[in-house]
Structure 1
Amino acid sequence: MTDVPHAAVKAAALLAKLSAAEKIAFLHQQQPAVERLGLAAFHTGCEALHGVAWIGRATVFPQAVGLGATWDRDLLRRVGEAVSTEVRAFRQDTENAFRANDVADKHPMVSLNVWAPVVNLLRDPRWGRNEEGYSEDPHATAEMATAYCRGLRGDDPAVWRTAPVLKHFLAYNVETERDIIDIKVPPRVLHEYELPAFRGPILAGVAAGVMPGYNLTNGVPNHVHSLLKDALRAWNPELVVCSDAQAPSNLVDREKYFATHEESHAAALKAGVDSFTDGGPDSRLTVERFTGALWQGLITEADIDAAVGRVLAMRAATGEFDPAVDPYAGIRADVISCRAHNDLALEAARAAIVLLKNENEALPLVVPESGASEEGLAVAVIGHLGSRVLTDWYSGELPYAVSIADGVRTAFGDRAVTAVDGADVVNLRAGEAEFGPFARQDWGTSVQCPVPVHTLQAIENGRYLTLAGDGDTDVLADAATPDGWVVKELWEFHQTDDGQRLVRSNATGRYLRVGDDGRLVADADSAEEATAFVIETVTSGIRQAVAAAASAQRAVVVLGNDPHINGRETIDRDGLALPPDQEALLRAVLQANPDTTLVLVSSYPYAIGWAAEHVPSILWTAHGGQEAGNAVAEVLTGAFNPAGRLPQTWYAPDADLPAPDDYDIIGSGWTYQYSQREHLYAFGHGLSYTDFEYGELVLTVREDQRGSFTIAAETLITNTGAVAGQEVVQCYSQALDASVPSPLHRLQGFERIELAPGESRTIAFEVPADRLSHWSEELGAFRLESGDYEFTVGRSSADLPSRATVRLGAP
């Protein structure tokens, strides 16, 4: 972080002028202003995972897992550039930025220290935060994270546009009891799988810091782990380590790893944590604990200086202390959701779409010249997600939203398209009392709740039934969306012996009853105190969907998840299946209209075994942000040729997955590298509307003066189809003579290229020899074994038409 002229000198000079008390105050996330030194207030952390979040309306790009599905480094760099430019606009033109958001009285402090990207590997598709990562592969994750960080950092050689922090170090891939779970990581898995995702962007010089994860790794909480220094600081001594929220207190309160907070905070500081995110904006407890630790001799002032100095150097690197040399100082609010950024959001949403199946060229849809044809409607868009654009916990506020139904109407014309929700409309009846009607959506189950949860959306006002009032006991149709850290719009239906239903709040665990005034309240602590309801179906969603599908030439069924429900931060999924009501809807529509396309809009893979066998064409996209509907419609109609590729394995419904906390990808066969389970769709899979032919693979070994060498893998790719298209060319290796279990395939390189019909291009991958090595626990280092290595190039980890073998000797 010392590439700003005199940044280190300026930071050191400021540090020397701070009193001990002031420096202790600077250990908290919210650093106070020091007017006598001209230091403004500062805080670490501005969420910027796929757009500026939690501040106001800003450009919303596809979820990170969708960006990972693009396999496009240049696109990720440009998205990072747009996001960091909007962060700068909020930071530097706050009044105008918030006036544009109609909240001119809200002026929060926006930090140029951005907490993004997430580089945790998508080892387990049941992970609640699957949407936040790029890939299950460490090389792909490192490459995409480096590209995004490069955009966040900016191209100026001296000043950083924003200072990105990688999340969450390390082995963080479980939400259930995430703050106390101990993840066991074998040495080979640590060095070959876990660490490379962090090492890539750090060694590239584009990451300013790292955030530790909540969990323990091999018995040690990540916030006091020796690898903070032995790995991260060995790669870059100036990295700023920001704690995760409340994690410092967890060392005592939840993990019981230390007896006192003075001991725990001292240990975290000495382990390498520089900024303590604890107690929200109130720094009082953090200051008290460090003051006590210093007084007790648990830390020295030199320990404090090291941490505060790194944060000051990061601040200096953004040009804060020398605005005259800041090339980004002129950025203003007019860049927020500007035309160029909106266009980029559409480009990213297009690039993220994966064509999973296209039997008998069912896609693209043919657009009738006159819209509606003699046979009836052109397209029926069916499903709750067909008419909605959903955000997630780390999304910004959408500046506008184009749903899939909106996009299809643009392509076909309003009169040629109908949109049907597909949800049952129900009343809750208890004697003479009736509540509703509500559209009831089934969102499935999770580890925390094995009973399906539902939302109830009032037909009268479109609002969701939610909890309100003191103690969350009032029940009102008042929520615009299911949202919040605790989602108060989720309801469980528990059947009684006589066939009625008890309705239980998933948020509080209390049951509904009809109060004395005839209104619904959620204050019954037991089933005995609850009111039993009859769920009366007013309108069958499946019947409406079947009628719409039968009257249309083509049906598009849109299924998936709400990112705030059953698979999100703190909540893991309990399996890979679609919610039963969603699959029932799909089956009924397909029976009514065989020309049905399934569009999955989801933050994670589903085990769609029946659909994969029976539905002619299937698309998958992560939640794609403001332009999701236009992007999907362009792919459906062939206006854009899909080229997204899966960033993780889609397992078959009967695949026996390891336990969620089993991090031994080698011994337990996790990910495409080691899994020999039945897969629906392989890592890297994705189809196109054109065909690509792969030529012979030629390998060349190039030795350098130091005795190491690089393998060049080169092949010719030709578009043999009738339309232009993009191909993601993937290169893998396998050690055929390995003395230890080695990956079945190991990604070594990838390129997303575009070819016109008949066009050919030679693609070459440079693979350093050290990327073929494995970690030797005996040596405590990587080891390259002599033997045969097979290189393959192709369309996915399971479709590799070009292959060649080379024999290598260890240097």
Structure 2
Amino acid sequence: MSGCEPGEPTTRPPFRDPRLPLGTRVDDLLARLTPDERIAMLHQYAPSVERLGLAAFRTGQEALHGVAWMGPATVFPQAVGLGATWSPDLVRRIGEAVGTEARAMRARDPLIGLNVWAPVVNLLRDPRWGRNEEGYAEDPYLTSALAAAYTRGLRGDHPDRWRTAPVLKHWLAHNNETDRDTTSSSVRPRVLHEYDLAAFRGAVRAGAVAGVMPAYNLVNGRPNHVSPYLREHLRTWTDQPLVVCSDAGAPSNLIDSEHYFATHEEGVAAALLAGVDSFTDHDQDSSKTIGRVRGALARGLIDASTVDTAVRRLLTMRCALGEFDGEDDPYADPRGAGFDTPAHRALALEAAEQAVVLLKNDGLLPLSPSATGTVAVVGPLADECKLDWYSGSLLRRSSPREGLAARLGADRVVFVEGTDTVRLRTAAGWVRVPPPGVVAEGQARERAREAAQEAALNPAHATGRTDLPPLTIGDTPTDLALADWGGGVFTLRAPSGRYLTVADDGFVRAAAEQPGGWVVQETFALERHGDGHLLRHGGTGGYVCVAADGLKVADRSRAEVFHREVVERGEDAVARAAAGADAVVVVLGNDPHINGRETEDRTTLALPAGQDRLWRAAHAANPRTALVLTSSYPYAVGDAADALPALLWTAHGGQAAGTGLARVLCGDVSPAGRLPQTWYASEDDLPDLLDYDIIASRATYLYFDSAPLFPFGHGLSYTRFDYDGLLVRQDGAGTGDAAGALTVECTVTNSGPCDGDEVVQIYASAPGARVPRPHRLLIAHRRVSLRRGERVRLFFTVPVDEALGFWDVAHGRWTVDPGAYEIHAGASSADIRRTAALTLDGPPPAPRPVLRRGLEAADHDAADGIVFVDRTKARGDAVTCGDEAVGRLLFRACDFGAGATAVTVEAAREGTGGATVELHLADGTPLATVAVPPTGGRYAYTTVRTALTTPPAGVHDLHVTLRGALRLARLGF
């Protein structure tokens, strides 16, 4: 966030003079603020300062794939769909469009913020993560490349002024929603540096990131909101004064749920000292944060300079956004001219097309518009254009049915949703959806006003209408459409098209346009009870009962017994439509608000049983069946992949999803999307959701040892691409910290029948490495458009340390070993077309200098039964035993020199009972057993010195066994 060159003198205060350096302007403004005004700026909702002409400022505007929560905006594909494009150029242009719309919307509505909380760069380590839709990829290089592109678009190209100020989410190692504010991610140093930090590092170094948001979880026992990595790593990657914005409610979590500090004053002080600048807590009520900061100052936990440091970073961001420039702001858009433009609509369509991944094709696709007769478009998502929690409201929409009808003609498209048609009966009669009642004019007007306000703030939220009559019991049944979303969760929809939902008064009504909201009120489950079922409501956890004035939710003791009558099974309707069609497109997947979303992880990779039956029924009736999975995450669909001639995946593709899909299905566009994460054959292939050690658990494409259903980077085309002429050379230094660059070049030819895009992927591997290395590591890629018969020579330049290096725990640094490497060019991580060998010269790796440096417990090479914990509340890591109270560490190649005679153990022990640290060599030679006495607390370390029974000399592998409840920090010799 640099400044402008000084110019002629001005009568404006220095902070309002855009010709002055930015730092000068910020220092001037900071000096004009009172201590109380400075403290008030630490809250998300910073108040105005009228005497200086400062407007109120709010950190935080969601903009993950379009401006969100602020009403209608251009909706682009979900972030994981943007990841599937593998196109930094496209993602940058989308960032430009989103930033431009934010500016245009702000010109009409000051509630629109310019500090945008996007993109999410958490790696898609586990496809069961509820927020899988929000990330780009499981690979750190690809994630970082796309994040850098999106932030560049959001930021703009002006050298000094920012269109918007992007904040990366969520720092750090965050991939679980289950108990997300209290679980700790146990992250070893290699995973930390090579995987989790890497995703942030490249994007920050690219220079268009304004800050980060810490995640709710803990890392190695320490909450991310007091992470020392903010200071030790993040802020060393750039000279820009990055802003750290807390996640909502997380500052209070430090005490209320995590119990990490005793008082809120201690918590806010520790967060400020760690580097948090803006506190998103207690919604718009800033009084609690202000009171806590004042309390921390009064107790001497922080001083005024701590507050000033945070405020200076916030003011720097505001100044870079042009807030104090007036008419000189290059991004000012007083007319809102950059909103919902034809260019943005075309860009949304381009993104929807590029995000489609063709997983399998045995010749069914593309469908010939001239030779194909009737197409049956079936499934619960066949006529949907779903939004997610971080979407804006749709200005326009396109479902698969609509897209194919527009492309082929409405008379050639037959649509069947495939939901079961059911009736519900009680002992007293049938469940009935009454017609809308007559609502008093004043009540209707008030309800409309409330709904409009709610939609403006959050279009994803269900409005909970109370102006419609509740469901009743009567003699005439109402047919309801039951959709199975998996895990026993379903929705019910009335003939009016509205979903059954529950408002604040507890009554069940057919009132919702779509499932949505932070707490979804449109889901139900049937629990077997005698010869019938109880109907449990998902949003409240209550049960549907029959009251005098209609159906409502109550506790289980009042639950009504319902009997379900199936009027027609969805698969029967699908089979009929499929049998009479020339081809079938089955569209299955998820609703982004149900079963896998923020606050809710998935427990399975399987399709919902009801949906699984639909593709089977369609295929049995018509072998020319293509399955389109429209989802926020991968599924395990091995049977479908084996049986069906064509299989495609797309994330929820935004406003142009249906048109984009139809153009791919009909061959107007050759598909070129690529999987941004591994598709596993079963959840049995996955480690525990909370196992963040991808190396030990052999997770992601980097380490997975079995055959996936579809590999990372996979995606087919309607044309063919040939690879040849792969060359690689090293330019610059040899090995170590400054190892120069690799230049990789190869030729790609479109040898197939049509024009198309190819995603050329360059991987590196290190066969015979001394430490576990990835099977293949993506180091470069390019999405390139080639006409039929066109040939292109591609060049890639990659720093050697990024391509071939790893974090050397023995020496605490990034390193590149000498030896043999391979560079691969191909169409996926498993479809390698060409390989080139490379040998790096240099001295052999040095052993661990244990006599000089000792051994940090966290820097082990391998472990079993070990959990990482916080060494102190401020910084450092230690290790402790897991559930079995026995843990083992391995330190390879320890150089004991001429001989070590004693060991010092630095450890802490909170409880009673025995606790020991045992040392022996790889051949079983015992060295010492060190008893660790109680120290009075988990952070109260003691140092115990013990003579070695057999003093080792030379280089050996050292094994360390921990027994009992202790924390081991380090060993010295």
Q: TM-score, normalised by structure 1?
A: 0.94
AA in 2 matched with 1:191: H
* 1:512 aligned residue: 544
Which of 356, 377, 381 does residue 381 from structure 1 map onto?
377
* 1:99 aligned residue: none
State the Cα distance separating 1:790 from its structure 2 match.
0.5
* 2:225 aligned residue: 223
* 1:127-526 paired onto structure 2 within 5 Å: 127-236=129-238, 238-330=241-333, 332-359=335-362, 361-368=363-370, 373=373, 378-435=374-431, 436-445=478-487, 452-459=488-495, 461-470=496-505, 473-498=506-531, 500-517=532-549, 519-523=550-554, 525-526=555-556
* Contact kept in structure 2, 1:85 and 1:331, CA below 8 Å: no
* 1:561-600 paired onto structure 2 within 5 Å: 561-600=590-629
* 2:832 aligned residue: 800
* Contact kept in structure 1, 2:739 and 2:816, CA below 8 Å: no
Q: Which entry has the higher C-alpha Rg, 1 or 2?
A: 2
* 1:592-631 paired onto structure 2 within 5 Å: 592-631=621-660
Provide the rounded CA distance (Å) in 2 between the counterparts of 1:630 and 1:109.
33
State the Cα distance separating 1:704 from its structure 2 match.
5.6
State the Cα distance separating 1:707 from its structure 2 match.
6.4
Provide the rounded CA distance (Å) in 1 between the counterparts of 2:553 and 2:73.
36
Provide the rounded CA distance (Å) in 1 between the counterparts of 2:637 and 2:205.
39
- Match of 1:681, SS state, is coil
Provide the rounded CA distance (Å) in 2 between the counterparts of 1:177 and 1:786.
44
Task: Provide, for residues 433-489 of structure 1, a one-character-per-residue CA deviation record: whole Å limited to 9, x for no partner.
Answer: 2123210011112xxxxxx11000111x1111111133xx21111111100000011
Provide the rounded CA distance (Å) in 2 between the counterparts of 1:417 and 1:656.
39
Seen in structure 2, the aligned counterparts of structure 1 residues 20 and 432 have a Cα distance that, compared at 3 Å, is same
Provide the rounded CA distance (Å) in 1 between the counterparts of 2:738 and 2:162.
37
* Contact kept in structure 2, 1:775 and 1:783, CA below 8 Å: yes
Which of 706, 710, 726 does residue 677 from structure 1 map onto?
706
State the Cα distance separating 1:723 from its structure 2 match.
0.5
* 1:53 aligned residue: 68
- Match of 2:835, SS state, is strand
Per chain length, whose mean CA-contact separation is higher, i.e. which structure has more relative contact order (CA < 8 Å, sep 6+)?
1
AA in 2 matched with 1:43: R
Q: Does 1:737 align with 2:778?
A: no
* 1:23-172 paired onto structure 2 within 5 Å: 23-94=38-109, 109-172=111-174
Provide the rounded CA distance (Å) in 2 between the counterparts of 1:654 and 1:59.
35
Which of 677, 687, 704 does residue 658 from structure 1 map onto?
687
Provide the rounded CA distance (Å) in 1 between the counterparts of 2:687 and 2:129.
13
* Contact kept in structure 2, 1:503 and 1:512, CA below 8 Å: yes
AA in 1 matched with 2:393: E
Task: Provide, for residues 227-275 of structure 1, a one-character-per-residue CA deviation record: whole Å limited to 9, x for no partner.
Answer: 1111111223510000000000000000000111011001101110000
Provide the rounded CA distance (Å) in 1 between the counterparts of 2:638 and 2:384.
26
Provide the rounded CA distance (Å) in 2 between the counterparts of 1:810 and 1:658.
37
Provide the rounded CA distance (Å) in 2 between the counterparts of 1:111 and 1:580.
42
AA in 1 matched with 2:27: A
Task: Provide, for residues 624-664 of structure 1, a one-character-per-residue CA deviation record: whole Å limited to 9, x for no partner.
Answer: 00000000000000011100000000000264310001000
Q: Does 1:790 align with 2:822?
A: yes
* Contact kept in structure 2, 1:784 and 1:810, CA below 8 Å: no
* Contact kept in structure 2, 1:152 and 1:164, CA below 8 Å: yes
Provide the rounded CA distance (Å) in 2 between the counterparts of 1:533 and 1:93.
50
* Contact kept in structure 1, 2:103 and 2:333, CA below 8 Å: no
Provide the rounded CA distance (Å) in 1 between the counterparts of 2:116 and 2:32.
27
Provide the rounded CA distance (Å) in 2 between the counterparts of 1:681 and 1:168.
28
AA in 2 matched with 1:488: Q
* Contact kept in structure 2, 1:2 and 1:313, CA below 8 Å: no
State the Cα distance separating 1:677 from its structure 2 match.
2.5
* 1:449 aligned residue: none
- Match of 1:695, SS state, is strand
Larger mean CA deviation between 729-738 and 230-239 belongs to 230-239
* Contact kept in structure 2, 1:650 and 1:680, CA below 8 Å: yes
* 2:724 aligned residue: 695
Larger mean CA deviation between 434-443 and 5-14 belongs to 5-14
Provide the rounded CA distance (Å) in 1 between the counterparts of 2:738 and 2:64.
41
Q: Identity percentage over the alignment? A: 53
Provide the rounded CA distance (Å) in 2 between the counterparts of 1:651 and 1:3.
50
Larger mean CA deviation between 350-359 and 670-679 belongs to 670-679
AA in 2 matched with 1:467: V
Provide the rounded CA distance (Å) in 2 between the counterparts of 1:562 and 1:3.
46
* Contact kept in structure 2, 1:736 and 1:787, CA below 8 Å: no
AA in 2 matched with 1:456: L
- Runs of 5+ unmatched residues, structure 2: 5-19, 432-477, 844-973
Provide the rounded CA distance (Å) in 1 between the counterparts of 2:630 and 2:38.
48
Seen in structure 2, the aligned counterparts of structure 1 residues 717 and 79 have a Cα distance that, compared at 3 Å, is same
- Match of 2:628, SS state, is strand
Seen in structure 2, the aligned counterparts of structure 1 residues 137 and 331 have a Cα distance that, compared at 3 Å, is farther
State the Cα distance separating 1:539 from its structure 2 match.
2.3
Provide the rounded CA distance (Å) in 2 between the counterparts of 1:762 and 1:118.
33
State the Cα distance separating 1:541 from its structure 2 match.
1.6
* Contact kept in structure 1, 2:604 and 2:683, CA below 8 Å: no
State the Cα distance separating 1:170 from its structure 2 match.
0.1
Provide the rounded CA distance (Å) in 2 between the counterparts of 1:110 and 1:58.
12
* Contact kept in structure 1, 2:527 and 2:533, CA below 8 Å: yes
Provide the rounded CA distance (Å) in 1 between the counterparts of 2:117 and 2:314.
14
* Contact kept in structure 1, 2:357 and 2:675, CA below 8 Å: yes
Seen in structure 2, the aligned counterparts of structure 1 residues 406 and 768 have a Cα distance that, compared at 3 Å, is same
- Match of 2:392, SS state, is coil
* Contact kept in structure 1, 2:244 and 2:278, CA below 8 Å: yes
Q: CA RMSD in A?
A: 1.3
Q: TM-score, normalised by structure 2?
A: 0.79
* 1:105 aligned residue: none
Provide the rounded CA distance (Å) in 1 between the counterparts of 2:3 and 2:644.
55
- Match of 1:267, SS state, is helix
- Runs of 5+ unmatched residues, structure 1: 95-107, 446-451
Task: Provide, for residues 729-770 of structure 1, a one-character-per-residue CA deviation record: whole Å limited to 9, x for no partner.
Answer: 000000113100000000010000011111110112212111
- Match of 2:567, SS state, is strand
Provide the rounded CA distance (Å) in 2 between the counterparts of 1:300 and 1:433.
70
Provide the rounded CA distance (Å) in 1 between the counterparts of 2:699 and 2:3.
40
* Contact kept in structure 2, 1:655 and 1:677, CA below 8 Å: no
Provide the rounded CA distance (Å) in 2 between the counterparts of 1:764 and 1:362.
35
Provide the rounded CA distance (Å) in 1 between the counterparts of 2:425 and 2:370.
46
* 2:869 aligned residue: none
State the Cα distance separating 1:505 from its structure 2 match.
0.8
State the Cα distance separating 1:335 from its structure 2 match.
2.2
* Contact kept in structure 2, 1:7 and 1:316, CA below 8 Å: yes
State the Cα distance separating 1:331 from its structure 2 match.
5.7
Provide the rounded CA distance (Å) in 1 between the counterparts of 2:673 and 2:3.
36
